[in-house]
Amino acid sequence: MSKENIVIIGSGPGGYVGAIRASQLGAEVTVIEKDAIGGTCLNHGCIPTKAILASAELFTSIKEAEDFGIYVGEVRADLGNIMERKSRVVEGLGNGIHGIFKKRGIGFIKGTATLISPTRIRVESPSGAEEINATKVVIATGSKPAMLPFLYPEQPAVLTSTEALTLDRLPKSVLIIGGGAIGLEFASFFNALGVKVTLVEMMDQILPREDKRISRQMTQILRKRGIKILVKTGVKDVLSYRDEGITCLLDNGDEIAGEKLLVSIGRSPNSKGIGLEHLGVKLDERGNILVDDRMETNIKGVYAVGDVTGGILLAHVASAEGIAAVENALGIDSKIDYSVIPSCVYTSPEIASVGLTADEARASGVEVKTGWFPFSASGKAMAMGQAVGSVQLVVEKGTEKIVGGQIIGPLATELIHEIALAIKLGITAKELSATIHAHPTLFESVMEAAHSVYGKAIHVF
């Protein structure tokens, strides 16, 4: 029996992870990528932003070293060297993926793919054009930053997250449109390095999808650091572009100016120009590829994963979908539980959530109670000098099962996984509170939040 021949278009978290899984299952795999291996996540998103944020956090920590009894001389940040380090991190991880592909015999073609049929793909590369066959196809082309229609992206003052990661000098001021995860992460980075930051969000809170308490806490923290935050405010138009700046008109009639304008209003699917209309692949009104619960499109044998499907636009979701798609393509029934997806914001302090907020639970008819514990009562957080934030658990009345959790504070993006596992396994707040946690650790705060559900938190007055 001949091997299945799977062709994956795109090498981001959905594409390259799916390729490795398909190879593990014995398929012959070819990945086509028009840009650098790793897609947006590795080259223009998750990894480079975390690298520059690590530099900004270290810079801030050194400036605050005297609080820990350590005295240093003058400290300065060099954006060029920060970006150079970021590039080394990206290059190293990219080489790692290439190494796995080589070891597993996964083919990699640098070029632009166009679907000619469900089993035939045309690839145009610098070396010429070729056509390759496939028994199954997985589309993992990802997304690109969305742009406001009245902006001219070719203007040097206008940035998306992609351009912001290539700056060679710090601007004096930045206007950021969009108060979601990307906007807040860049606001934190620029602010830490001394740039004047104004954040504009059209919804009634920053981080619109997060718990209201988390949003309020983060708003207070950022404003205390000097970041100007405007909520329930939109940018209506651009009044002028300059060599070193831009002036915008807000929908309340005010004018606002800055040296750079960073647009972080979401992302658009990369579904154009790859032959979908020729095959008759169904899209929604935004251009997202429609798939079923097996990640298969309406065309048999053609699958799609990640941002291009318009679902939850997170790298780890794309990876899970990549695995599910190739498993289904190879005859293994595989479906994803979207109810337990951790969401992380890598600001300082970090923010993470999973499952339902209390408001979401009540809106869906689920009666809940909450447990809450502040990091100001955590011995480990105090010792670290990071006693800001809290852990909150959302627990269903009656069953006592944990159905959600929200954290703002040190290592929130790591701590959230204990709550995610609790939700996935149907663990109750009583079971979590009865699990002895090591002292002193940050994880104790999760246990204390579980105790708090029943009014028994030990370290809260």
The residues carrying an active-site annotation are: 439
Residues 371, 377, 383, 386: what is their CA dihedral angle, to the nearest 10 degrees?
60
Q: Which two tokens stand for residue 78?
A: 């060099």
Residue (of 13, 7, 8, 21) closest to 40 by Cα position: 13
End-to-end CA distance of the chain: 69
Tokens describing residue 233: 């405010």
User: Does residue 123 contact residue 132 with C-beta atoms inside 8 Å?
Assistant: yes
Per-residue HEC secondary structure of 337-397 comes to: CCCCCCEEECCCCEEEEEECCHHHHHHCCCCEEEEEEEHHHCHHHHHHCCCCCEEEEEEEC
262 DSSP β-pair partners: 159, 176
Radius of gyration of the chain, Cα coordinates, nearest whole angstrom: 24
Spatial distance between the Cα atoms of 107 and 27, rounded to a whole number of angstroms = 11
Distance from C-alpha of 239 to C-alpha of 139, rounded to nearest angstrom: 40
Residue 254 DSSP SS3: coil
Q: Cα–Cα–Cα angle for 451, 457, 461, nearest 5°?
A: 160
Q: What ranges make up the beta strands (E) of 190-259?
A: 196-200, 228-230, 235-242, 245-250, 255-258
Reduced to 3 states (helix: H, G, I; strand: E, B; else coil), residue 136 is strand
Q: Which two tokens stand for residue 99?
A: 């190494």
**Axis-axis angle for helices 46-63, 79-104 (nearest 10):** 140
| Phi, psi values for residue 312, rounded to 5° | -85, 115
The residue among 251, 248, 272 whose CA lies nearest residue 262 is 248
Q: Round to whole Å and give the CA distance between 289 and 298.
A: 10
> What number of residues does the chain have?
461
